Structure 1
Amino acid sequence: MEGILKELNGVRIISFERYLKHPVEKVWLAITRPDRIADWLTAQAEFELIVGGRIVFRWKNGDIVNGEFLQINPPYELAFTWMEPVSGDSVVRWRLTEEDEGCRVHLTHTFNEASMISGFLAGWHVHLDVLDLILQGRHIDFPWERVKEFRNYYDSKMRLKGGAL
């Protein structure tokens, strides 16, 4: 359930696929309700959940991400732009499919610029782990140390493979 990095026509795409033992609707609410997003993404979210609606994520450390909803197909698909000065403009896509008694989550984050890929791989990896715990009803302090560990892991893996995974 590691992240995968692909390159396609000069665009870098990180991808995660996870099976969660929760109904699609429950996962959908966790990724589209600001009060639930705060639990696993650790950011205050403000948005209007309509195509073209603006989205803002604010973290306690002062980081801010702005965006706009590109696609909303409840409870299966969600896509929005992710705009910040450090990593440039990118697109986050969630695809949820019913599987057995749970949900298959496919998350992609597409970058036009190559910056900070290992940081995003590490961040999404741990955020998805925390999402699963939150959906299980387990509330934990966000494990920032795990993000650092996974950033080192993905950095090492990318160096060994010449920038690819």
Structure 2
Amino acid sequence: MNESLETADGRQVLRIERRLPHPPEKVWPAVTEPGHLREWFPAEVRLDPRVGGRMTFSFGSAAEDAPESVGRVDAYDPPRLFAFSWEEELFRIELHPDGPGCLLVFSHVFDDRAGAASFASGWQICLDTLDGLLDGRATDHSPRPSARLHESYVERFGLADGVVETTDDGWRVRFERQLTRPAEAVWAALGGTTPQDGTGTLGGPPPAGFTSAEFPAGPVTALDAPSLLEYAWEAAGAPAGRIRWQLAEGTGHGARLLLEQTGPAGTAGDGATALTAWRARIEPLARQLAEEADRRP
């Protein structure tokens, strides 16, 4: 299986290629008919099989009152091409003859680059299930996402990197990272409780997990557990900028970490230092959370 992530027209394009030992004619019903799609696709699908036809997607129960989202058929050319939209995202399934079997090319176009590892790991599991169904093997119709697989895609697609920007009054470093555990678990892993020594309270020092030795921490200036902690960092004993940790909604696989640090003009080297320091802090945290997620029953 080959996977790639590219940017085209400002959007992210995830592409997965998989060779199947079955001809396109056998695979086509499995990727287009609702009765087969429900066995491997992550939503219950109903569709009008023609270009421009309406599609609906629902999760959980197939009851009429289950929440639905909508899309439409953009291409329908049996047994070669099926393309459709789902809300604002685009999907394309191509089947190319390949000896006695076929090459399945799956693509997903979306905007949320930080969510790409979640999408890639999820689709890999879905396509594994499809492969098993075509082979007649028993499969788990609701396989559990693998947090370690998610982290492998983070590394493969370069999603662990932060960015440094020049601002009107200095510099700003930003990281956006999809994690594999909910905000409460991330907060606890960072030490974001309120211990008796006063750390993690407004006006007090931040818990050590939120800090980096390269940037001495001042007092906590904003706190909303388990989603926000902000504090001043100091240089030469005076406030130099702020460091802000925020845990927001992500792809549904866990919390989205948004980490930002600002610094003053004339200290551009500190931006590069911050990129290195915070990646070194986030990576062990992400691995720890992934291990916890995969251990959970």
Structure 2 contact 73–85 (Cα < 8 Å) conserved:
yes
Of structures 1 and 2, the larger Rg is shown by 2
Query: What secondary structure is seen at the aligned counterpart in 1 of 2:132?
Result: helix
* Aligned-partner residue type, residue 92 of structure 2: R
Where structure 2 has 5 or more consecutive residues not aligned to the other structure, the ranges are 163-297
In the alignment, what sits opposite 1:118?
117
Distance across 2 between alignment mates of 1:16 and 1:63: 28
In the alignment, what sits opposite 1:96?
95
Choose 41-50 or 126-135, whichever is displaced more: 41-50
Distance across 1 between alignment mates of 2:67 and 2:132: 24
Structure-2 change in CA distance of 1:94 and 1:160 (3 Å): closer
1:140 is the counterpart of 2:161: no
Structure 1 contact 71–77 (Cα < 8 Å) conserved:
yes
Following superposition, the deviation at residue 160 of structure 1 comes to: 6.4
Following superposition, the deviation at residue 159 of structure 1 comes to: 4.2
Following superposition, the deviation at residue 52 of structure 1 comes to: 0.9
Structure 2 contact 5–157 (Cα < 8 Å) conserved:
no
Residue deviations 1:110-147, cap 9 Å, x none?
1244352211111111111111000011132132143x
Structure-2 change in CA distance of 1:25 and 1:153 (3 Å): same
* Aligned-partner residue type, residue 137 of structure 2: R
Choose 131-140 or 39-48, whichever is displaced more: 39-48
In the alignment, what sits opposite 1:12?
12
Distance across 2 between alignment mates of 1:81 and 1:160: 25
| Percent of aligned pairs sharing the same letter | 31
Alignment of 1:41-80 (within 5 A): 41-60=41-60, 64-80=68-84
Following superposition, the deviation at residue 60 of structure 1 comes to: 1.3
In the alignment, what sits opposite 1:86?
none
Tell me the C-alpha RMSD between the 2 structures: 2.1
Residue deviations 1:31-66, cap 9 Å, x none?
111110011114321111111111112221867442
Structure-2 change in CA distance of 1:160 and 1:112 (3 Å): closer
Alignment of 1:31-50 (within 5 A): 31-50=31-50
Following superposition, the deviation at residue 162 of structure 1 comes to: 3.6
Distance across 1 between alignment mates of 2:89 and 2:31: 18
Distance across 2 between alignment mates of 1:58 and 1:72: 21
* Aligned-partner residue type, residue 74 of structure 2: L
Following superposition, the deviation at residue 158 of structure 1 comes to: 3.4
Residue deviations 1:59-103, cap 9 Å, x none?
2186744210011111100110021xxxxx111011101111101
Structure 1 contact 3–125 (Cα < 8 Å) conserved:
no
| Alignment: residue pair count | 157
* Aligned-partner residue type, residue 139 of structure 1: A
Where structure 1 has 5 or more consecutive residues not aligned to the other structure, the ranges are 84-88
Structure-2 change in CA distance of 1:18 and 1:134 (3 Å): same
Structure 1 contact 2–125 (Cα < 8 Å) conserved:
no
Choose 31-40 or 3-12, whichever is displaced more: 3-12
Distance across 1 between alignment mates of 2:69 and 2:152: 25
Distance across 2 between alignment mates of 1:9 and 1:43: 28
